[in-house]
Chains A and B, each alone.
Chain A
Amino acid sequence: NAGVMQNPRHLVRRRGQEARLRCSPMKGHSHVYWYRQLPEEGLKFMVYLQKENIIDESGMPKERFSAEFPKEGPSILRIQQVVRGDSAAYFCASSQFRDFNYEQYFGPGTRLTVT
């Protein structure tokens, strides 16, 4: 199966801990997007990355959140010192091209719960 993979699917962290979410794009896709879905809401864009570059991070909170997409390995969304408000589903999507008319394929999401 060459779909977008995310792990872990569920992650529980205590307040103040770090959360690391991983995303492996579809084979042949070099464009990765992260979105966050709060309960009962639609998805909100966080960041867009290409290999080794952050292209658009306009949706990322200014503090505690960071993302990377290294030359080798998956894309990582890192949340430091998590708070309860970070509890959400985090989705990764990938696309083959960045043009607007190309579909973004979504992974299954990571459900983060902060206790």
Chain B
Amino acid sequence: AQKITQTQPGMFVQEKEAVTLDCTYDTSDPSYGLFWYKQPSSGEMIFLIYQGSYDQQNATEGRYSLNFQKARKSANLVISASQLGDSAMYFCAMRGSNDYKLSFGAGTTVTVRA
């Protein structure tokens, strides 16, 4: 079974600054994938970034980067140069190699201030 923990229920960030969203996980699967999704107030789930457990380098997608520390079982999302449109709920999720489903954390609400 997989377990995802997001300990920050809500965060405020100033426009143009960077923000780091914490995510720790627990799994017994030897291989797994880690995902981050954004859920704006409109409700849809938007895929942001993926990190494989055996990837040597941290994943990056535009302003999103994933700080993957395998030994610590953490997969923090970094959003650089925050924009007002980044205000949303962010979910960390994982999927083990022996699993079909995504397991989600409780989410972190990010509010970007002008």
Contact = CB atoms under 8 A, between A and B. Distances in A.
Most buried by B among A59, A93, A100: A100
Interface string A38-80: 0001111100100000011001000000000000000000000
Nearest to B32: A100
Interface of B: 4, 31-33, 35, 37, 43-47, 50, 52, 91, 93, 95-97, 99-107
Q: How large is the interface on A (under 10, 10 to 19, 20 to 34, 35 or more residues)?
A: 20 to 34
Contacts, number: 60
A41 B32 CA distance: 23
Nearest to A103: B47
8 smallest beta-carbon distances between A and B, as pairs: A42-B104, A45-B101, A106-B45, A48-B100, A100-B95, A43-B104, A108-B44, A101-B33
A33 B93 CA distance: 15
Contact of B100 (A41, A55, A106): A55
Contacts of A55: 100
A103 B106 contact: no
Contacts of B99: 100
Majority DSSP secondary structure for residues of A touching B: strand
Contact of A98 (B45, B93, B100): B100
Interface of A: 33, 35, 41-45, 48, 55-56, 59, 89, 91, 93, 98, 100-101, 103-109, 111
B39 to A, nearest CB: 9
B52 A101 contact: yes
Contact of B33 (A45, A100, A106, A111): A100
B47 A100 contact: no
Contact of B50 (A35, A89, A91, A103): A103
Contacts of A104: 102
Contacts of B33: 100-101
Nearest to B46: A106
